Structure 1
Amino acid sequence: MVIPEQILEAKEARARRQKEMIATYHLPLISISINIPGREKSSHDARVIFEAALHEIKQQKFHIMTEINLNTPSGFEAIFCVHANAHELKNAMISIEETHLLGRFMDLDVMDEQGMILSRAAQLSAKRTCYLCDRPAIVCAREQTHSLAALLRHIHEKVEHFEHNRKTRL
């Protein structure tokens, strides 16, 4: 289990890596992290969600120039530099977040060639809702509306459902 300071340091290191990759490649990038509450950021459920995100991004028709995958104190993360239009990338990432069974737990950020983050609002996409209710996620997180156990149980149930569906397709 990690402490909040380690998570913050890992997020700051991710931001530095993003800036370095944009400066090196002069291309938009996709930054993947996993929305898992609590201090355990590298659980089995987090790994399954992360691998599903990687798979979905690689199924897109974008030309990936380079990729970095890490397991940090803030959890699993990846950065892709992509030869594509940043707005098209963001729309594709929003589609994955909104349509994939585990998409709600994926944080698929897009930065343009200048390092500006493309927001969901800029793409006229709705803010994310809570895992357990229809309120904005930011409100429930700030007010701690739901217990950590309830949130993790919900995530685990979705991951189990995803794994079951994946096994039955094989």
Structure 2
Amino acid sequence: MSQGLDTFHTVLRAREDRARRQHELLNQLNLPLISATVVAPGPNKSTALYRDVLDVAQQTLREVFSSPPWKVVHEEAYHSPAGPEAFFVISGSSASDIKNAVVQLEETHPIGRLWDLDVILPDMTILSRQQFGLPPRRCLVCDNEALGCARSRAHTLSQLKDKIKSLFELYRKERHM
């Protein structure tokens, strides 16, 4: 098996493991779950930079969802071949309110565009931006619709990685990290 195909299958297995763990938590706790991952283009999704980006996402989610009416009932994180990921099970509010809050974080936090914060219901339904009448996510490089740029491969892997790195470095510099 070629290296690229092997990497693809490894990432696919890691994503299947993620979905299985989400399903277990949702069945167990019967509350909305936030699945936090990182926008990680390319085959190598498990880098120190991506782990640092997720660490900031986790810290931010903890801060937001530890204030009333919300409560973090369960939190866990992994660093898998599919990239770093964290799960937050939240009580105290509707899934719609949780979705609105995570969209706000994705759009207003200095590195929120590097996060993919999905809200998943106990029946495994993922709440989408479209369901809430919200615009699609924007491309990191050109600010067009991200899905269109991804499908057409409008930007090189190098351009995407450089943009992610520069956004995070600017964030670190501004926070004196």
Pair in the same fold by TM > 0.5: yes
The 1-side partners of 2:97 and 2:124 are apart by: 16
Per mean C-alpha deviation after superposition, the further-off stretch among 132-141 and 102-111 is 132-141
Q: SS state of the match for residue 76, structure 2?
A: strand
1:113-140 CA-partner distances (Å, limit 9, x unpaired): 3221110111221101111113211111
Question: What is the TM-score of this pair, normalised by structure 1?
Answer: 0.94
Q: Distance in 2 between matches of 1:100 and 1:143?
A: 27
Equivalence map 1:126-145=2 (5 Å):
126-145=135-154
State the partner residue of 1:102. 111
TM-score (norm 2): 0.90
Q: 1:78 aligns with which of 72, 76, 86?
A: 86
Dislocated runs of 4+, deviation >4 Å:
none
AA partner of residue 54 (structure 1): Q
User: Are the counterparts in 1 of residues 51 and 79 from structure 2 also a CA contact under 8 Å?
Assistant: no
Gaps of 5+ in 2: none
Are 1:47 and 2:51 an aligned pair? yes
What secondary structure does 1:48 align onto? helix
Match of residue 7 from structure 2: 3
CA drift of 1:39 comes to 1.4
In the comparison of the two structures, how many residue pairs are matched? Answer: 168
Aligned sequence identity (%): 35
